[in-house]
């Protein structure tokens, strides 16, 4: 009896099959994920410093500027001023990917990342995304080496398994091999980095397509299919 009442009071979304709720979540998330280059650099630095220098985290605006502009472990190297970083933080705040973290009596404003919590990522997943944000497309071997301080992977197979999970969530895509390279490369799909990387690499003509355009087309097909399913369910 109580179970029947609970079912009647459930929202239309809760009454959907689990597989359909999952597809709706992925679709809605894919639509809102559209970070620009500055946002990705700021977010990547927040994640990196949280894991590598926890005593200095959360970060002040000046610390974050230095982290964004450092010459090592960054591709490309940038020279952002505080206004650029502050604007990027505002956009990240609207996405619920970052927020102020200054405690009572704090002399300076500090910032922390909420990306892992908001998106629902495991430590291995957010570590790989962090490196892809900061260094662009990478091979699994490069990721294993460059995530060591963030999350140590025991074997290359673990990196590849994590990449497959991220691909399944449409947060990462697989690119082609560079000439002379045995491993495929992978890139994040949180913003426009893939398009820029492909455009700057004429040696890989197979990737001359527009990934964003393909994603939009796929999303349109997905929307049409979901609408038809919802209509069949009378919702």
DSSP three-state, residue 222: helix
Token pair 């700021």 in the structure block, residue: 42
CB 193 within 8 A of CB 187: yes
Q: Which of 194, 148, 147 is nearest to 167 (CA)?
A: 194
What CA–CA distances, in Å, run from 128 to 36, 46, 87, 96, 123? 18, 14, 25, 20, 9
CA proximity to 205, closest of 179, 171, 182, 170 = 179
Rounded to whole angstroms, what are the CA distances from 149 to 40, 47, 131? 19, 12, 11
Place of tokens 């919802």: 230
What pTM does this model have?
0.71
The tens place of each residue's pLDDT in the chain, 235 residues long, gives 455 554 455 556 566 666 665 555 555 554 456 899 999 999 999 999 999 999 999 999 999 999 999 999 999 999 999 999 999 999 999 999 999 987 555 678 999 999 999 999 999 999 999 999 999 999 999 999 999 999 999 999 999 999 999 999 999 999 987 787 788 999 999 985 454 444 344 333 333 445 555 556 666 666 666 666 676 666 6
Q: Alpha-carbon distance 68 to 214, whole Å? A: 30
Domains of the chain plus CATH, in order, are 14-34+122-235 (1.10.10.10), 36-120 (1.10.10.10)
């Amino acid at each position: 009896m109580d179970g029947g009442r609970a079912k009647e009071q459930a929202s239309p979304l809760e009454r959907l099959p689990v597989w359909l709720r999952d597809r709706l979540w992925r679709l809605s998330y894919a639509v809102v994920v559209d970070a620009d280059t500055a946002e990705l650099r700021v977010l990547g630095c927040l994640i990196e410093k949280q894991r590598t220098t926890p005593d200095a985290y959360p970060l002040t605006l000046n610390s974050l500027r230095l982290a964004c502009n450092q010459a090592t472990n960054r591709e490309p190297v940038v020279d952002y001023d505080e206004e650029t970083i502050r604007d990027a933080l505002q956009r990240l705040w609207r996405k619920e990917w970052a927020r102020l973290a200054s405690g009572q009596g704090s002399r300076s404003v500090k910032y922390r990342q909420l990306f892992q919590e908001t998106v629902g990522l495991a430590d291995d997943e957010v570590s790989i995304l962090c490196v892809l944000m900061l260094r662009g497309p990478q091979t699994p071997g490069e990721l294993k080496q460059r995530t060591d301080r963030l999350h140590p992977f025991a074997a290359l197979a673990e990196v590849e398994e994590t990449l497959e999970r991220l691909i399944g969530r449409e947060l990462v895509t697989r690119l082609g091999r560079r000439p002379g390279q045995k491993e495929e490369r992978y890139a994040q799909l949180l913003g426009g980095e893939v398009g820029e990387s492909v455009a700057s690499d004429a040696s890989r003509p197979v990737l001359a397509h527009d990934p964003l355009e393909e994603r939009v087309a796929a999303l349109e097909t997905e929307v049409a299919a979901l609408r038809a399913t919802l209509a069949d369910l009378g919702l």
